[in-house]
Amino acid sequence: MARKRSLESAMGVPTHRTGTALGDPTEVEALSRVFRKDQRENTTLIGSVKTNLGHGGAAGGLTSIIKATLALEHGQIPATIGLKQLKLKIIAEEWGVQMVTKMTDFTLTACSSFSYLIPFSAKKSPSPPERVEKLSQIDLRDISIEDLSYILGQRRSHLPTRGYIIARQDSLSEDINFENLRTPSTINVADSKPCFVFTGQGA
């Protein structure tokens, strides 16, 4: 889902929404600094999945991703339930944000991420570890982790045998190593038998 896109589209951002007098204004102001730094005219739509499902605890980030994915699929961001009045410290008009109080059309979203997914793939095992080894031999100190994640995720073919590393910019060189490689599946798609799927329901 992560792609380089212009921020001129209708932008919807799921927020953490701490519900505290300090946390909410701090988060919204930070979003404003990022999405208004180019003085774009479009308002940033904000909301929170907590009003729909409650606090997800350890799965809180995942529920935000699920909400954002469904919203993109339908082209609409659902309302934040129960909102009566914004906190006085949230200067919505000046910061260029709007709390979503009804179903609203939009085309672009973003979710908070404090690390990056570095994907690897190959035609067959054990090639992904070999690719990690080659990348680890490069001096990554001056490499942007954002660019690296984008190139490997969007500009490379996704082959059957896959793995990934979760990395941060300040520790990129140390993070790119075989021990951090995660392989979610050992199934080789190329060797799998065909599977026929019928949708039904008149589709």
- Residue spans per domain, the chain: 11-109, 116-184
CA 124 to chain CA centroid, nearest Å:
28
Q: Which one-letter DSSP state was computed for residue 194?
A: P
Alpha carbons 137 and 139: distance in angstroms, whole number: 7
Q: Are 127 and 161 in contact (CB under 8 A)?
A: yes
Architecture of domain 11-109: 3-Layer(aba) Sandwich (3.40)
65 pLDDT higher than 50: yes
- Confidence at residue 86, expressed as pLDDT on a 0 to 100 scale: 66
**Reported confidence tier of residue 1, pLDDT bands at 50, 70, 90:** very low
- Comparing 30-34, 148-152, 177-181, 184-188, the range with the smallest average pLDDT is 184-188
Q: How far is CA 50 from CA 9, 12, 72, 186, in A?
A: 25, 16, 18, 35
Rounded Cα distance between 26 and 24, Å, is: 5
Of 3-12, 23-32, 37-46, the range with the lowest mean pLDDT is 3-12
